């Protein structure tokens, strides 16, 4: 087949954490291959709420950006999954604690099947939130592509992804990590500025 050269992969799988992640299934292997190739992966944290054992797989993979959901007021949505402090016996450290970021995910109105009388519908979940983060990142890559490409050529694919995640964490007002809300609420303007500053 023809190689599809994606810059971002957005995954809204949202299932329960996979306790067999250390064995690795097809989705885990595919995501790890994508990361090694310098593709940034954004994935839904899952909708299992406070009683979840971890964010869903493959959001649980270290360099993936796991996205939690918030309500309109900015607080964490009740069903947004909780990230574990460790995975496979290793403590997660910054900027890879899960989830990394939250975005609006409750009663979000979007397009629906155009054959319906009203071609719009509202939905809730971390899958909805993931779209906001992936869309923001696409605009950042469009604006700062040269900076990011130069960083990648000097430091390698995984270091570039770490820089993007470091910039994301630095862009949020709350430096503390919450196991459901992440490092804070998505701030597109601040994230873009932090990426720009990474070149200096």
pLDDT at 16: 57
Q: Which of 189, 1, 191, 178 is nearest to 102 (CA)?
A: 178
Residues forming a β-bridge with 6: none
**d(C-alpha 14, C-alpha 130), whole Å:** 10
Contact status, residue 21 vs residue 88, Cβ threshold 8 Å? yes
Work out the angle at residue 190's Cα, subtended by the Cα atoms of residues 187 and 192, and round it to the nearest 5 degrees.
Answer: 105
> Could you give phi then psi for residue 125, rounded to 5 degrees?
145, 165
The DSSP call for residue 15 is -
Cβ within 8 Å of residue 42, ≥6 positions away:
8, 9, 10, 11, 64, 65, 67, 130, 133, 134, 137
Contact status, residue 44 vs residue 80, Cβ threshold 8 Å? no
Sign of the CA dihedral with 9 first, then 15, 19, and 23 last:
negative
Helix or strand holding residue 182 (H, E) = none
pLDDT at 3: 55
Single pTM value for the model: 0.91
pLDDT at 64: 97
Consecutive 10-residue runs of the chain (200 residues): their mean pLDDT?
75 63 72 93 95 93 96 94 93 95 95 84 94 97 95 94 96 86 96 87
In the chain, the DSSP E strands lie at 8-11, 40-44, 65-70, 86-87, 90-91, 101-104, 108-111, 120-123
């Amino acid at each position: 087949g023809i190689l599809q050269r994606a810059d971002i992969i957005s995954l809204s799988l949202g299932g329960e954490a996979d306790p067999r992640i250390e064995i690795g299934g097809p989705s885990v292997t595919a995501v790890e291959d994508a990361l090694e190739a310098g593709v940034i992966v954004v994935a839904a944290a899952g909708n299992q709420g406070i009683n979840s054992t971890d964010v869903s797989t493959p959001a649980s993979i270290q360099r993936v950006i796991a996205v939690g959901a918030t309500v309109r007021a900015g607080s964490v949505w009740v069903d947004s999954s909780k990230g574990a402090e460790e995975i496979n016996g290793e403590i997660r450290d910054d900027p890879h604690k899960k989830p990394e970021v939250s975005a609006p995910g409750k009663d979000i109105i979007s397009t629906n099947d155009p054959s319906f009388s009203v071609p719009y519908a509202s939905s809730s979940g971390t899958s909805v939130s993931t779209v906001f983060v992936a869309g923001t990142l696409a605009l950042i890559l469009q604006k700062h592509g040269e900076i990011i490409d130069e960083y990648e050529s000097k430091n390698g694919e995984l270091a570039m992804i770490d820089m993007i995640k470091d910039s994301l964490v630095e862009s949020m007002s709350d430096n503390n990590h919450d196991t459901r809300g992440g490092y804070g609420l998505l701030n597109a303007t601040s994230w873009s500025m932090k990426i720009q500053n990474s070149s200096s």
